[in-house]
Amino acid sequence: MDLSNRVAIVTGSGRGIGRAIALKLAEVGATVVITDIDEALAGNVVEEIKTMKRQSLAVVADVSSLPDVTKLVDETTAAFGKVDILVNNAGITRDHLLLRMSEEEWDKVLNVNLKSVFLCTKAVLRHMVKQRWGRIISIASIVGIVGNPGQANYASAKAGIIGFTRTIAKEVGSHNVTVNAIAPGFIDTEMTQRLKEELREEIRRRIPLNSFGSPRDVAEAVAFLASEEARYITGQVLNVDGGMAGAWM
């Protein structure tokens, strides 16, 4: 895979899966724009990329806000002249059983996890359609496929990403823009490491490959879908889950 001369935006890339995706795209040659609500985290990833002799830029943005998304894309094109790849990775959780879930918790998760995908995709598509090349990759979740108690908001947002992906792929395919999603399973990140050990072990036993994924596993899939090797793949959802979704269904 060679992404030299490609410019990528990765949302929520200050840590975890987003950081791994940004570093992998830089590793295979891309210029990467790091965006996060945490300026320090975003700046740290930029410095890591610069040690790889790649160009990078940090833009602090709330990607559920239209003005912030406009700023993000404008600063990217001002600095690098174009945007070729968008990775919609930003996401949060606010878990509760539905009867205990507040309207604020519902709205916040839908805004950050799903509305951001709408805003960012719409903003970059104008550039991709004009240049007749683009890759949009959104991070969904197996929870959006199989559901999960206590995550009605999160599962709804991730299921929405899947429907959005399949629809936009049909709308922009004639412009040589591909639109795909990745549905990770249980990935070993700071968030999942906070779970109780007995729960982690119970989850692990339900994974056919008998292990948790790493952020790098997701990043490798993103890099493939962003590459020329994946030019004939669009409207698809790739599960990166060790077989977990099939085991739960």
State phi, psi for 144 to the nearest 5 degrees.
Answer: -75, -10
Structure tokens at 66: 């239209």
- Which residues make Cβ contacts (< 8 Å) with residue 106, sequence separation at least 6? 94, 152, 153
**Tell me, what amino acid is at 22?**
A
**Residue 154 a catalytic site member:** yes
Give the residue ranges of DSSP H helices in the chain.
16-27, 39-50, 66-80, 103-110, 116-131, 143-146, 152-172, 190-193, 197-205, 215-226, 244-248
Catalytic residue among 133, 154, 212, 224: 154
Q: Burial of 131 by CB count in 10 Å (0-12 exposed, 13-18 middle, 19+ buried)?
A: middle
What gap in Å lies between CA 98 and CA 23, rounded to an integer?
Answer: 37
Residues classed as catalytic: 154
